Amino acid sequence: MQLFKSQMIRGFCHLYDGQEAVAVGMERALTFDDSVITAYRDHGIFLGRGGTALELFSELMGKKTGCALGKGGSMHLYHRKHNFWGGWGIVGSVPPLGAGLAFAHKYMKKPNVVVAIYGDGAGNQGQLYEAQNLAALWNLPLILLIENNHFGMGTAEWRASKKVTHYDRVPYIPGIKADGMDMFSVREAFKYCKEHCLAGKGPIMLEADTYRYHGHSMSDPGSTYRSRKEIQGMRQERDPIERIRKIILTEELVTKEELKDLDKKIRAEVEDAAAKAREEPFPSDDELFANIYKADSGLVAYGCDRRKTKVEMP
């Protein structure tokens, strides 16, 4: 948020704080051989898939050391090595892409699952229902994860959806609901969903009841359609990180001082990664048309100015 306000991050930026238990709980039940694909609120998912803070900050700032070489930005993080197939910017586009990945897994007889993540704001999109139909028809190993933070782009769910739950919308796909502010609840729900898919029973829906503390994006103040009191209440009563902290201390797994030292260490790592990313170079000009055309295709690309300068592809 600070980097965006200082214009070090351009374009759009959708913050993930408040929803951390979903990403962490999911990864406790998956392996990196399972595939994950999500929408544009992807920072926490990328880190959960094993991405580094330096790769993340570099990509946010458009630097060549970013996870997508600085070409994706905030909405298009990516980690091929660990089967994270990106954040995607089009609302509702993830379920069809996830169904395609799940088809590939089944076709190649991989003993793994695919998780396609979308929000409640995408729950009424037509392509979602098309993907659900094909996933069920072809018995695909697909977990459809709905991160239900209860607000779309400035709109509460009840103003946009006649039915505000998602796990039980389609009668031919089973679904369950988990407390998306509780890592343990999410972990156990994912274990169940993964077992269901690997048993050859087809797709399943998992709705994580979660909450975002900030607006839909940085251009949304997030307080015009809900009260500050509501947001503060969520932070005090259901915050996923504080919940884990209380359990750790109650069970006497570590001391308060050890947790403070851990917090300091993590803050230092984050600040160091952000500082290094600021100093990294931007992609060179010759990267502008890279990865667009096949190198030996003989195609050419044209510039955007009125002269339409012909540029030979390497």
Each residue of 30-80: pLDDT tens digit?
A: 999 999 999 999 999 999 999 999 999 999 999 999 999 999 999 999 999
Output 79-84 pairs: Cβ under 8 A, ≥24 positions apart: 79/46, 79/49, 79/50, 79/51, 81/32, 81/50, 82/32, 82/49, 82/50, 82/51, 83/32, 83/33, 83/34, 83/35, 83/36, 83/49, 84/35, 84/36, 84/37, 84/45, 84/46, 84/49, 84/51
Confidence bin at 313 (pLDDT 50/70/90): very low
Residue 179 or 293, more confident = 179
Domain ranges in the chain are: 2-279, 287-314
Confidence bin at 170 (pLDDT 50/70/90): very high
pLDDT tens digits, residue range 258-280? 999 999 999 999 999 999 999 99
Are 144 and 114 within 8 A, CB to CB? no
Question: What's the confidence (pLDDT) of residue 220?
Answer: 85
Question: What's the confidence (pLDDT) of residue 303?
Answer: 44
**Chain mean pLDDT for the chain:** 92
Q: Is the pLDDT of residue 126 over 90?
A: yes
Confidence bin at 308 (pLDDT 50/70/90): very low
Q: Which fold has domain 2-279?
A: Rossmann fold (3.40.50)
pTM: 0.90
